Chain A
Amino acid sequence: MLYREAGQFKSSYDEDQAIFPILQDRIMLAIVLIVAFVAVPLLFNEYWLSTIMLPFLVFSLAALGLNLLTGYAGQLSLGTGGFMATGAFAAYKLAVAFPEMNIIIVFLLSGVITAGVGVLFGIPSLRIKGFYLAVATLASQFFLIWMFNKFPWFTNYSSSGVISAPPRAVFGDYFVTGSSASPQAKYLFALAFVALLALAAKNIVRSHIGRGWMAIRDMDIAAEIIGIKPLQTKLGAFAVSSFYCGISGALWAFIYTSSVEALAFDITRSFQILFMVIIGGLGSVLGSFLGAAFIVLLPILLSNAPTMVGLNISVDLISHMEFMIMGALIIFFLIVEPHGLARLWQVAKEKLRLWPFPY
């Protein structure tokens, strides 16, 4: 009854293809944004902001990047970790080499550099598909991490191989990176980045570019026959996806952990992000966020739940239970809805539109 579009008439195609054509969706989004931008930084303490919300945002952005490539353009990739590392190291080199450069520009440029690297490693996608492509993209994962470890130039000859984010401020003196930055500032900065990039992603996937990606995903031969060039389309998807992953890596290194080594972006990171995309929902912007929330937030909830409800269980048992429950939940959700959490949400909305008279 609450979620019904009766009486909401659209009198132009512009209104019909608005990003959220239904009023209730717009209200919902406004509430989410207000909570995220106002309530969270005011109410959450430092621990919550910097160890829970920041990784959630960073992973959401990486999952969004991979979702553009795998979910929308249908190109399976296991190179996400490598692209995140590229973004992190590119941002570090840029920030150190040009101390005067605005940190926003630094992040965007590091995304552009990663996009270039992504295109390079996307070239095999023109000849190979599916799982074989996933194996081919592993090359980027291993090669890039090896390269950042092997050549000390990337870490400015730091003996430990760790890069530390230099302090940088936006709008004058609001420090968003480095030790003097407050968790609130870091959180808001990352949130703004993620929100704007998510909006851009949504706009891209509903444009002719996104339709070209989906056409290649659903049936590449038919796509080519109606005039979509496979080369440009696939490499374009790799570029945009890597741009997002690169910025996510830069946010990780600068905002989330402040110092990072290349091994933080190893193969397990790529798998983790791929799982987020699969569980959240392939081909859905919302799914990237749901998947990241599921993989990042749920374990934290599970490990804290026993103490919160007052159960006295030993720490090792809690951590074992966390693994078991997590595994069971993943299996449960994949059986209930193989298309991911985003599809569950969509089905719920469709049912809600008819409720309580579903005939």
Chain B
Amino acid sequence: MDAYAPQKKERVFGDVVLSVDDISLSFGGVQALANISFGVREHQVLAIIGPNGAGKSSMLNVINGFYHPQQGTITYKGETRRQMKPHQAARQGVARTFQNIALFKGMSTLDNIMTGRNTMMHRNLLWQALHVGPARKEELEHREFVENIIDFLEIEHIRKTPVGRLPYGLQKRVELGRALAAQPELLLLDEPMAGMNLEEKEDMSRFILDVNDEFGTTIVLIEHDMGVVMDISDHVVVLDYGRKLADGSPDEVRSNQEVIDAYLGVAHD
């Protein structure tokens, strides 16, 4: 048998690491999310899909503490919570990227990714002002880690470039790098492939799968490209007008009549 033949690896998941229970969120009279429940298992890639305005981004914002739902709870790593601040979520190992790139435009690629490690750097102001001994050592240790991410994402050549000058596809990659720098256990990606060409999408899909494989990171992503979603995700949640339409493996979702009616549509022949 050919040892190099591609093998379908059996995907192994851990326990439910994040469970969303009965979440409702409304802005004034607009119901953004209504009684949403689902769970994400460790090492899983979960995709949230749905038409525009379905509440996908709101769902991510609830998970990382940016929106506070009126009803329901989020259980992350066994800890149940209603409200929390985004920076607390970050310190618990939740990182995310944004639909519209939210990089720090005035800073270089390297500095942007280094900022992702800020929560792990503790030397105080006095040490930093002197920039000797422990402060310098700490800076170098983190630089080492960040350089590994830069290597991994193949963005060595733009290390020192201010991110404002970079093309869109690279900015998206830098943003992923910044999220990875925090060594997250749960990574939330809001449309990581929006506005990309085919090649960039393929690269990005590869990076996402590699992150999942190599670091065992659990990933929740929002994406509109059905080809990508069905290929890379283990589990799909479909939202429409704030309601959950379906929840299951890509194949189950693809054949669900409600989902086809609301979102996927049928081929006209």
Q: Does B206 contact A (CB under 8 A)?
A: no
Q: Cβ of B118 and Cβ of A203 under 8 Å apart?
A: no
Q: Does A5 contact B (CB under 8 A)?
A: no
Q: Cβ of A214 and Cβ of B104 under 8 Å apart?
A: yes
Q: Cβ of B131 and Cβ of A203 under 8 Å apart?
A: yes
Q: Cβ of B129 and Cβ of A226 under 8 Å apart?
A: no
Q: Does B22 contact A (CB under 8 A)?
A: no
Q: Cβ of B118 and Cβ of A208 under 8 Å apart?
A: yes
Cβ of A236: which chain B residues have Cβ within 8 Å of it?
125
What is the distance, in angstroms, from A230's C-beta to the closest C-beta of chain B? 8
Q: Cβ of A227 and Cβ of B182 under 8 Å apart?
A: yes
Instruction: Give the segment of A121-129, A130-138, A215-223, A325-333 that binds chain B.
Output: A215-223
Q: Does A17 contact B (CB under 8 A)?
A: yes
Q: Which residue of A lies closest to B127 (CB)?
A: A207
Q: Cβ of B103 and Cβ of A222 under 8 Å apart?
A: yes
When chains A and B are docked, how far (Å) is the Cα of A240 from the Cα of B103? 25
B78-119 contacts to A (CB < 8 Å) = 85-87, 89-91, 95-96, 98, 102-107, 111, 114-119
Q: Does A283 contact B (CB under 8 A)?
A: yes
Q: Does B38 contact A (CB under 8 A)?
A: no
Cβ of B117: which chain A residues have Cβ within 8 Å of it?
208
Cβ of A206: which chain B residues have Cβ within 8 Å of it?
131
| Per-position binary interface string of chain A over residues 344-358, scored 1 when its CB falls under 8 Å from any chain B CB and 0 otherwise | 000000000000000
Q: Cβ of B178 and Cβ of A200 under 8 Å apart?
A: no
Q: Does B262 contact A (CB under 8 A)?
A: no
**A226 is contacted by which of B66, B111, B118 (Cβ under 8 Å)?**
B118
Known contacts A212-B115, A212-B118, A214-B107; A222 and B102 CB within 8 A of each other:
yes
**A200 is contacted by which of B95, B96, B130 (Cβ under 8 Å)?**
B130
Cβ of B87: which chain A residues have Cβ within 8 Å of it?
224-225, 227-230
What is the distance, in angstroms, from B97's C-beta to the closest C-beta of chain A? 9
Known contacts A212-B115, A225-B96, A226-B182; A204 and B128 CB within 8 A of each other:
yes
Cβ of B247: which chain A residues have Cβ within 8 Å of it?
none
**A215 is contacted by which of B104, B121, B131, B182 (Cβ under 8 Å)?**
B104
Cβ of B135: which chain A residues have Cβ within 8 Å of it?
207
Q: Cβ of B136 and Cβ of A218 under 8 Å apart?
A: no
What is the distance, in angstroms, from B46's C-beta to the closest C-beta of chain A? 19
Q: Does B41 contact A (CB under 8 A)?
A: no
* Most-contacted residue by chain B among A206, A222, A227, A283 (CB, 10 A): A227
Q: Cβ of A207 and Cβ of B102 under 8 Å apart?
A: no
Known contacts A17-B139, A226-B90, A227-B119; A214 and B85 CB within 8 A of each other:
no
Q: Cβ of A13 and Cβ of B66 under 8 Å apart?
A: no
Q: Mostly helix, strand, loop or mixed at chain B's interface?
A: helix
Q: Does A4 contact B (CB under 8 A)?
A: no
| Per-position binary interface string of chain B over residues 221-250, scored 1 when its CB falls under 8 Å from any chain A CB and 0 otherwise | 000000000000000000000000000000
When chains A and B are docked, how far (Å) is the Cα of A236 from the Cα of B118? 15
Known contacts A200-B130, A203-B131; A209 and B143 CB within 8 A of each other:
no
**B86 is contacted by which of A204, A219, A225 (Cβ under 8 Å)?**
A225
Known contacts A204-B125, A209-B125, A211-B114; A218 and B105 CB within 8 A of each other:
yes
Known contacts A207-B139, A222-B104, A227-B118; A214 and B125 CB within 8 A of each other:
no
Known contacts A204-B128, A227-B118; A219 and B104 CB within 8 A of each other:
yes
What is the distance, in angstroms, from A256's C-beta to the closest C-beta of chain B? 24
Q: Cβ of A227 and Cβ of B90 under 8 Å apart?
A: yes
When chains A and B are docked, how far (Å) is the Cα of A222 from the Cα of B123? 23
Q: Cβ of B118 and Cβ of A218 under 8 Å apart?
A: no
Q: Does B140 contact A (CB under 8 A)?
A: yes
Q: Cβ of B182 and Cβ of A283 under 8 Å apart?
A: no
When chains A and B are docked, how far (Å) is the Cα of A236 from the Cα of B128? 13
Q: Does A100 contact B (CB under 8 A)?
A: no
When chains A and B are docked, how far (Å) is the Cα of A295 from the Cα of B144? 42
Known contacts A13-B147, A17-B139, A227-B90; A221 and B106 CB within 8 A of each other:
no
Q: Does A14 contact B (CB under 8 A)?
A: yes
Q: Does B64 contact A (CB under 8 A)?
A: yes
Q: Which residue of B lies closest to A219 (CB)?
A: B102
When chains A and B are docked, how far (Å) is the Cα of A219 from the Cα of B115? 12
When chains A and B are docked, how far (Å) is the Cα of A269 from the Cα of B117? 39
Cβ of A229: which chain B residues have Cβ within 8 Å of it?
87
**A207 is contacted by which of B66, B119, B131 (Cβ under 8 Å)?**
B131
Cβ of B96: which chain A residues have Cβ within 8 Å of it?
225
A158-208 contacts to B (CB < 8 Å) = 200-201, 203-204, 206-208
When chains A and B are docked, how far (Å) is the Cα of A218 from the Cα of B105? 6
A219-269 contacts to B (CB < 8 Å) = 219, 221-230, 236, 240
**B107 is contacted by which of A203, A211, A224 (Cβ under 8 Å)?**
A211
Q: Cβ of B90 and Cβ of A225 under 8 Å apart?
A: yes
What is the distance, in angstroms, from B195's C-beta to the closest C-beta of chain A? 18
Residues of A within 8 A of B (CB): 13-14, 17, 19, 200-201, 203-204, 206-212, 214-215, 217-219, 221-230, 236, 240, 283
9 shortest interchain CB distances as A-B pairs? A227-B90, A222-B102, A218-B104, A207-B128, A200-B129, A203-B131, A227-B119, A208-B121, A225-B86
Residues of B within 8 A of A (CB): 64, 66, 85-87, 89-91, 95-96, 98, 102-107, 111, 114-119, 121, 123, 125, 128-131, 135-136, 139-140, 142-144, 147, 178-179, 182
Given contacts A203-B129, A208-B121, 20 further A-B contacts (CB under 8 A): A14-B140, A204-B125, A207-B131, A208-B114, A208-B118, A208-B139, A210-B128, A211-B114, A211-B115, A214-B104, A214-B107, A214-B111, A219-B103, A221-B66, A222-B104, A225-B64, A226-B90, A226-B182, A228-B115, A229-B87
27 sample A-B contacts, Cβ–Cβ < 8 Å, listed by A number: A13-B147, A14-B140, A17-B139, A17-B143, A200-B129, A203-B128, A203-B129, A207-B123, A207-B131, A208-B128, A209-B128, A211-B107, A211-B114, A214-B106, A217-B106, A218-B107, A219-B102, A221-B102, A224-B86, A225-B86, A226-B116, A226-B119, A227-B86, A227-B87, A227-B91, A228-B87, A283-B106
